[in-house]
Amino acid sequence: MATQKTSAADFLPDRINLKSLREAAAQCRGCELYRHATQTVFGAGPRRAGLLMVGEMPGDQEDLQGKPFVGPAGRLLDEAITAAGLDRDDVYLTNAVKHFRWEPRGKRRLHKTPSARQVEACKPWLQAEMLVVKPPIVVCLGATAAKALMGKDFRITQQRGELLVSSWADWTIATHHPSAVLRAPEHQERERLRGELVDDLHLAAQQLFRVTGRPAGEHGSARERRSARHRAGGGSG
């Protein structure tokens, strides 16, 4: 592995929690990507989420809004999460790289895949997020995340949808990136990829239930919390 002059490791806070990490990451200059991005897009979700999902890097909308998965890929991911019987509010969502890498194409900013060096430079943030959240199940969305976590020889085409052992969590599952679903040119191919994404998230949900005996979330799932609030608000149930 090429030696790195700087990386996110130089910017880690002394005390590690989600707030201190988010604040420190906002100042990160561990690689050159901060220069042309609007802001750091740190992970988001409950501190002890049962599921942690890793995407590639923020896109155009995420860069502008400062939150992960709020653009078109995020909408597709939301639908897949719901179809798999999960609740987005129970999932900690983050990315392998925390700044948007892009190149100009007319007036648009076109996504550019982060280099292996940039992924490596950014990894200390992901490692720190894992230390805090300690998710039993990690889902890698797409090749960049899967290679970052499972090694550069990992192939989504060969190993997606399998429960894998890794040093990151009890179980790691790799699946398609929602952007890959959106990019598929043919309707049939798009539906196949979408179906596999939902199946893989469903497997993650089932495994989480097996491991924890709970659907998701630290203090019950978001759905349970909402219905508890609803009952407390004067329902008859």
Choosing among ligand SF4, ligand URA, none, which partner's interface includes residue 59 (Cβ < 5 to 8 Å by kind)?
A: ligand URA
- Host H or E run for residue 74: helix 72-83
Residue closest to ligand URA, measured at CB? 55
**129 belongs to the binding site for ligand URA (CB under 6 A):** no
Name the one range near ligand URA by CB under 6 A: 62-70, 84-92, 101-109, 224-232. Answer: 62-70
Residues 97-116 vs ligand SF4: string with x where CB under 6 A? xxx-----------------
Give dist(CA 160, CA 179) in Å, integer: 16
Residue 74, amino acid: G
Choosing among ligand URA, ligand SF4, none, which partner's interface includes residue 56 (Cβ < 5 to 8 Å by kind)?
A: ligand URA
Give the pair of three-digit tokens for residue 36. Answer: 């042309």
Contact predicate 93/100, CB 8 Å: no
Per CB under 6 A, the list member of 12, 18, 21, 25 interacting with ligand SF4 is: 25
Residues 49-88 vs ligand SF4: string with x where CB under 6 A? ----------------------------------------
Give dist(CA 124, CA 114) in Å, integer: 16
**62 belongs to the binding site for ligand URA (CB under 6 A):** yes
List Cα–Cα distances, 32 to 2, 97, 102, 114, 122, in angstroms: 16, 12, 12, 11, 11
CB of 176 to ligand SF4, least distance (A): 23
**12 belongs to the binding site for ligand SF4 (CB under 6 A):** no
User: Which DSSP string do the residues of 169-235 spell out, in sequence order?
Assistant: SSEEEEE--HHHHHH-SSHHHHHHHHHHHHHHHHHHHHHHHHHHSSSSSBTB-HHHHHHHHHHHTT-
**73 belongs to the binding site for ligand URA (CB under 6 A):** yes
CA 236 to chain centre: 39
Choosing among ligand URA, ligand SF4, none, which partner's interface includes residue 28 (Cβ < 5 to 8 Å by kind)?
A: ligand SF4
Residue 207, amino acid: Q
Residues in contact with ligand URA by the rule CB under 6 A: 55-59, 62, 68-69, 71, 73-74, 95, 179
